[in-house]
Structure 1
């Protein structure tokens, strides 16, 4: 319609996937965070040992394998990562409460804190000798805590079907409810699966192309850049909301 402001553009863009118009650009930001999850999990699996830093379901399985003595699965590292992720989620919940659960503010702060944590990981990867098990556990724990903040933020933002890392329910919903799902639900779920797959593929390619600690650092560096973009974009939306309300 003539005279429609820029604020309506995200609504039109995401109307076909059934996103709530009030969410603005948050759906695309959640997809970017899903790509981040894929990138860092690929890096952690290939570069930090058999451990996820975003997908805790996988770590529970790995922990079970470690308990029965399967080779290559570190019980201590998995327990540390699970505890670190939970601690990060607590911090993410606190950040959400601090801004009154305002969705763009939550997305901004969660992405910024996650980026800061992964930046610390990047510095460690580039400056320390990570041949030792202790160093690998430290980097894994910091990365998991960072992704815990991201996941808690995504839960607060609550874009339907976009949790940024857990996609088992997304996949089952896409398969089981495709006939009677809410409008746009199938599109959202498919986009989340593609985003996670894309992130894992890109992270894996970086690991294979660069190799070793440098490959892990390259993947983590890409995740930091994506997170910075999410935080800046969400921050712009927060300022626009405040300006329009003034």
Structure 2
């Protein structure tokens, strides 16, 4: 009986140590797996950290390059704006506009027409802001139309040495029929004729202005719409130049 109990206790202890050993093996295996996984995670984190650091460095470098490029572009833009402002100022200074352009065109046309440059310079040099002009003359005349058969067709100035005439477009009534008087809203043609046949023509809607030089005198005409059929004329005569 003692031998049987001994064998039973031996087998029990053997089974217990076997189970303990199995558990130990499992625990060791689990610990080994966990340690391996932990080490792999550490390596992955190190790799990811290195990758992130490289990416941060790349982005930082790109940001520096972009900031430098933006600074260069701003400098180029300021330089371009300064050059544009300088060009505009030079253009305004060197290229005539308004009255200067009109006078330059007149001078150019006169020179192309054969006028002596010295003569033209003399005229410009001796032109005066204050001029000894005579009292203006005010007259009127009838603008001719296709249906106008009578009336004062022209008017004379400077003791009849200058004749002014004009033609216009017939006005129309409410039914669209042409009338004998001219339409002041439409362009008219004014002819200024000096003795000898020299003619100056001005065309356009009223009022109109025209200056002519005859026998060392400048005649400045202003034409405005008057009463029906008539155009009012004002003429100033001043010494020229």
TM-score exceeds 0.5: no
TM-score of the superposition, structure 1-length normalised?
Answer: 0.15
Higher helix share: 1
TM-score of the superposition, structure 2-length normalised?
Answer: 0.15
The structure whose RCO (Cα within 8 Å, separation 6+) is larger is 1
Higher strand share: 2
